Amino acid sequence: MSYLVLARKYRPQTFDQVISQDHVTQTLTNAISAGRVAHAILLSGPRGTGKTTVARILAKAMNCKNGPTRTPCNDCRSCREITSGSAVDVFEIDGASNNSVDQIRDLRENVKYMPAHSRTKIYIIDEVHMLSIAAFNALLKTLEEPPSHVMFIFATTEPHKIPITILSRCQRHDFRRIDVESISKQMERICAKEGIDIAIESLGLIAREAGGSMRDAQSLLDQVTSSTGGKITQEHAIDILGVIDRKILFDISGAVIRRDIHALLDILDGIYDHGHDMKKLYTELVEHFRNLLVVKMVARDSKLVDAPGHEIDQIHDQVKEVSPAYLTQVFDILFKEEAAIRFSSQPKLALEMIFIRLFQVKPALPIDELIEKLDDLRKNISETPERYEDTERRAVESTGAAETVKSFTQPRPDHGKDLDRVWKSLFSVLSEKHPSLAANLKNATLTKLTDQSIEIEVNGNGFNINIVRRSESVDIIKKVCNEFFGEKMELVIKTKTVEEDKSRQKKTGAGRSKQEALNHPLVADAVEIFNGRVVDVKIL
C-alpha cells in the first residue's frame, strides 16, 4: 500500500476537528440544526485553510443516515463513500479542467435526476473562479433555482474573479489564515500520534514557513521527517527547509538595541556566506521589529503578534529595557528602506548601508522622560541656595573683569562706564535663578543706568515682549535688580519688536532701490528719447 501523506491522513472528518475556522463551522452547524442550509454556498480563502475539507464534511452532514446532522457518523454508506471520494451522489469537480460551457450544460442536464441512494445530490466545484464567463452564464439559472434535491458548494482562493451575478446567488463564507500557534499545536498532536521526535522550536519554524496554511505545514513536516530517521533538531530543520534561524533575528535585534555595529556586520556576513536570501532576511527583519514594537506597546498576550508563545516571551525579555520611541525609529527606517532592498542588485551592501545609517541616528528621548528631566533640573535649581554676591563674582571673573567685583557690592556704585559688562553680570544672575524668564531677555540690552533707576530695552517678537511685560516678570526683574545693586531701583522696560526692524529695513531698502532705478542712465535716456515720464517703479 502506498504511503498516505500527513495532509490526507489527518484531514478533519467533523466540524469540530477543523482548526481555527470556528466562524465558518459554527455558522454551518447552526444552519443544519435550524434546517436553514442554503442551496448554494461559496467557501473562499487562502490555500490550505480547509475549504474543500469543510465542503466534504458538509456533504456528509447533509447525506448522513442520521442527518441532516451537525456531527456525521462517518460509519454509514454515504459518509464512507464521501470520505473515500467514491460517492455517486456527491460530485467533486475541478473547475480548472472542467471550465467550458459544454461541461456546465451537461451538469445542468444531470441535476434533473434524483440522487441514487442519498438524500441530496451535491456538486462540489473546486477553484470555481477558473470557469469561463460563458460557463458562469450557463450556470446562472440553475444556481438560482435548483431542484430541491440539489446543492452546490463552491471553493475558491480568488473570489474577486467570480462574476457578481454568481456571488449574489451564493451564501459566502470567508476562511482565514491559521495562526502559527494553532498550526504548531496541531503538528505537535500529529507528531505525538506518529511517534516523531522533533523540537517544539522546529515546529514553530515549520508553522511560520507555512504562511497560514495547514496543508503546507503538514507537507513540510513530511519533508523534514523523511530526511532523517532519528530526532529532528532545530539545525536539521533549518538545513532541510533552507530558512533563517529565528535566533539570528534576535541576535540582529539585540545588536541594534546595544548599538553594536561590529557584531551586526559579522552576523550579516555570516548569513551571506551561508547563501541565504538577503531580501527574504530583510522582510523577516521588518516583521520582527514590528513584533518587538507591538509587544512593547501592548499586552503580552496580544493577538497582534502571530508567533509561538516561547518566542513572544523572548521578545518581551528583549524589549524590557528599550524605549518605544527607539523601536519606532528603527521600524520606521527599515520600513521606508524596503524598496531599496527589493530593487537592489547587491542586497547585502544595501542592507549594511541601511544599518550603518541607522546607527548614526541618535536614539530619540521619550517625551515623558524629557519632561521628567526638566522638572528635576528646575527643582534642583530652586532648591540650591546661593548668595547673589557669589553668583555675581563668578560671572564677573569669567569675563576677565575681576576689578569690577567690588563695585557691584558697594551701596552706591558708578555703573555708567560699562553698561554691557553690567548687563552681562545681571543677566547671569537672572539665568541662574529664573532661566525661563532669562530666555526671553536673551536679546535685551541695558540702555541706561543711574544710582536710582535702570532702563532695559527688550528686543524680540511679540511673544517674548508679552512674557517680559507681565506683572510677575516685572516683579522678578525688579527684585533681582534690587538685590544685585544693593538698593531699591526703579525699573523701566522699553520694547522693540523684530518685525518693526524688519519692516523699517524693508521700506528703507525699497526706497533706496527705487531711487537707484530712477537715477539709472538707461532710464534717463529712455525718458529723453520718448519724451515720457516715470509713472511708477516696481521692485521685483
Q: Residue ranges of the domains in the chain?
A: 6-174, 180-241, 251-360, 385-495
pLDDT band at 476; cut points 50, 70, 90: confident
Q: Give the residue, 411 or 251, on which the prediction is more confident.
A: 251
Q: Which of 113, 165, 157 is nearest to 134 (CA)?
A: 165
Q: Give the residue, 56 or 226, on which the prediction is more confident.
A: 56
Torsional class of 275: left (φ above 0), alpha (ψ -120 to 50), beta (otherwise): left
Residue 464: is its pLDDT beyond 70?
yes
Q: Which of 259, 246, 425, 463 is nearest to 358 (CA)?
A: 259
> Between the CA atoms of 511, 512, 515 and 521, what dihedral angle is there, to the nearest 10 degrees?
-150
Compute the average pLDDT of residues 167-175.
Answer: 95
The CATH number assigned to the domain with range 385-495 reads: 3.30.300.180
Instruction: At 136, list the grid cell.
Output: 458562469
Summary mean pLDDT of the chain: 83
Q: Per residue in 209-228, pLDDT tens?
A: 898 999 999 999 998 888 87
Q: Give the residue, 327 or 365, on which the prediction is more confident.
A: 327
Compute the average pLDDT of residues 133-140.
Answer: 93
Residue 131 pLDDT:
93
Q: Are strands 453-460 and 445-449 parallel, antiparallel or unpaired?
A: antiparallel
Residue 45 pLDDT:
93
Residue 307 pLDDT:
78
Q: Give the residue, 242 or 43, on which the prediction is more confident.
A: 43
Compute the average pLDDT of residues 157-178.
Answer: 94
Best-predicted range by mean pLDDT (170-174, 201-205, 341-345, 484-488): 170-174
- The structural architecture, per CATH, of the domain 251-360 is Up-down Bundle (1.20)
The CATH number assigned to the domain with range 6-174 reads: 3.40.50.300
Q: Per residue in 351-383, pLDDT tens?
A: 999 999 888 877 766 666 667 767 777 666 665
Q: Per residue in 504-539, pLDDT tens?
A: 555 555 566 666 666 666 666 676 666 677 767 666
H or E segment and range at residue 188: helix 180-194
Q: What angle do CA 361, 362, 366 make, to 5 degrees?
A: 125
Best-predicted range by mean pLDDT (65-69, 364-368, 406-410, 411-415): 65-69
Whole-angstrom Cα distance, residue 359 to residue 405? 49
Residue 39 pLDDT:
94
Please enumerate, as own/partner, the contacts of 341-348 that have beta carbons within 8 Å and a separation of 24 or more.
341/278, 341/279, 341/282, 342/279, 347/278, 347/279, 347/282, 348/268, 348/272, 348/278
- CATH class of this structure's domain 180-241: mainly alpha
Q: Per residue in 297-320, pLDDT tens?
A: 886 556 778 777 778 888 888 888
Q: What percent of the chain has pLDDT over 90?
A: 38
pLDDT band at 436; cut points 50, 70, 90: confident
Q: Are strands 445-449 and 171-174 parallel, antiparallel or unpaired?
A: unpaired
Q: What percent of the chain has pLDDT over 70?
A: 82
**What Å distances lie between residue 453 and 108, 430, 482, 483, CA to CA?**
108, 18, 10, 13
Residue 323: is its pLDDT beyond 70?
yes
Q: Which of 447, 441, 392 is nearest to 419 (CA)?
A: 447
**278-297 and 324-336 helices cross at what angle (nearest 10)?**
150
Q: Per residue in 85-95, pLDDT tens?
A: 889 999 999 99
User: Cell 532710464 belongs to which residue?
Assistant: 523
Please enumerate, as own/partner, the contacts of 437-443 that have beta carbons within 8 Å and a separation of 24 or more.
437/467, 437/468, 437/473, 437/476, 437/477, 440/464, 440/467, 440/468, 440/473, 441/468
> Which residues pair with residue 155 across a beta bridge?
43, 126
Q: Taking the CB of residue 16, how many other CB atoms lie within 10 A of it?
A: 12
Determine the distance from the C-alpha atom of residue 397 to the mean position of all C-alpha atoms in its chain, rounded to a whole number.
55
Residue 404: is its pLDDT beyond 60?
no
Residue 156 pLDDT:
95
Residue 60 pLDDT:
95
> Which residues pair with residue 152 across a beta bridge?
40, 123
Q: Give the residue, 478 or 171, on which the prediction is more confident.
A: 171
Strand ranges inside 170-300, DSSP E: 171-174
Compute the average pLDDT of residues 259-282.
Answer: 89
Residue 82 and residue 60 in contact, taking contact as beta carbons nearer than 8 Å: yes
Residue 32 pLDDT:
95
DSSP 409: H
pLDDT band at 30; cut points 50, 70, 90: very high
Q: Which of 125, 148, 114, 141 is nearest to 37 (CA)?
A: 148
Residue 124 pLDDT:
95
Whole-angstrom Cα distance, residue 89 to residue 345? 56
Compute the average pLDDT of residues 63-79.
Answer: 91
Q: Give the strands of the sheet with 490-497, arranged side by side.
A: 445-449, 453-460, 490-497
Compute the average pLDDT of residues 17-44.
Answer: 94
User: Cell 499545536 belongs to which residue?
Assistant: 185
Whole-angstrom Cα distance, residue 489 to residue 87? 109
